[in-house]
Amino acid sequence: MSNLTTVTEFLLLGFSEVRELQILHSVVFLGIYLAALVGNLLVIILIVLDHHLHSLMYFFLMNLSILDIGSISVTVPKSMANSLLNIRLISYSGCIAQIFLFIFFAVVDIALLIIVAYDRYVAICQPLHYETIMNREARVQMAASAWISGIPISTMQTGNIFALPFCAGNKVDQFFCEIPQLLKITCNDTYLSEVAITSFLLFLGLSCFAFIIVSYVQIFKTVLRIPSEQGRNKAFSTCLPHLTVVSLLVCTATFAYMKPPSSSASGLDLIVALLYSVRPPVMNPAIYSMRNKEIKGALWKLTEGKLSKQNNISRFLP
């Protein structure tokens, strides 16, 4: 504890010391950010305006798009601004805010992905009871509980992280305040606290992933018994994009938190962080829309100006 100093700010990882490359990084991140904003806002607009998309599945898909906008806004704009201004600093309170919001959006994202999996399970495995189980009251409670669940978990984990003393300087080897990188600069005698924080987050993520996998095992068993090939294809088209999003998110995040820590910044750390923090908000709208004829149809009607602005969000809760 003799090396303990008061940390008032952190130094984030710079992508390059060359000014031209810093500007290039800002431009690339700006393009990525705008792509995520446009893609997710387009999904939200289509779902709000097209009454054919006013179903429970698309209601939660809209929530996921809102989350994607929030999650990428936590990390990318700050990194982009740092490169543009040729600085690497983030304040102590700014780092706390990044960690809190990042965990919050991640927890709510996982909760909504679980709800979507349950919705697909009920719709395919118990279709006769779908309207009864997934009624108006249930959908409101599910959405509210998903958003509320992020607050206590993110508060607890953020408090646990910043309760640890920082003895190894203030350099964070990542383009945002990432939990594994922050834990690297805490004191050596806080190892058990670090393990507890990481283990809890991994347990939470893997438990949710296991629930989703079990749900889809039951779903696929039911789908394979559908006699109509068209019916099977329709069921798969609504399930596979969701399963793809979940698998990519959980696999990359688990690898980031479970791999052995390195003593210095590495290209692998950066790539993995980009995969689980930046890729989902950019790619999710495309993944969800790729095999979805209803969203494609809504997009086509939007380009032709046939979507009525009289449709509104209240139609989700008939």
Of 70-84, 98-112, 134-148, 266-280, the one with minimum mean pLDDT is 266-280
Task: Give a yes or no: residue 74 inside a domain.
Answer: yes
Cβ-count burial of 35 within 10 angstroms (0-12 exposed, 13-18 middle, 19+ buried)? middle
Mean pLDDT of 255-283: 76
Residue 3 lies in a domain: no
The pLDDT assigned to 2 comes to 46
314 pLDDT above the threshold of 50: no
Q: Return the percentage of the chain with pLDDT > 90, whole number.
A: 21
Residue 317 placed within a domain: no
The CATH code of the domain that includes 64 is 1.20.1070.10
pLDDT of residue 130: 85
- What is this structure's pTM? 0.84
Number of domains comprising the chain: 1
Supply the angle between the helices 191-224 and 136-162 in degrees, to the nearest 10: 160
Is residue 316 included in any domain, yes or no? no
Residue 318 falls inside a structural domain: no
Task: Take residue 141 and report the two structure tokens written for it.
Answer: 């409670």
**Greater confidence, 23 or 204?**
23
In SS3 terms, 233-287 reads as HHHHHHHHHHHHHHHHHHHHHHHHHHCCCCCCCCHHHHHHHHHHHCHHHHHHHHH
Residue 2 within a domain: no
- Measured CA to CA in angstroms, residue 209 lies from 70, 169, 222 at distances of 22, 35, 20
Can you give the pLDDT at residue 307? 60
Q: What is the mean pLDDT of residues 48-59?
A: 80
pLDDT in tens, 113-159: 888 888 888 888 888 888 888 887 888 888 899 999 999 999 998 99
Residue 315 lies in a domain: no
The predicted pLDDT at position 308 comes to 53
Give me the domain span that covers residue 290: 9-310
User: How far is the C-alpha of 26 from the C-alpha of 1, rounded, in Å?
Assistant: 39
> ∠192-194-200 over CA atoms, to 5°?
100
CA distance 216 to 117: 7
Q: How many CA atoms lie within 13 A of 158 on its CB side?
A: 21
Residue-wise pLDDT for 169-227, tens only, equals: 888 888 999 888 888 888 766 666 667 777 777 787 778 888 888 888 888 888 878 77
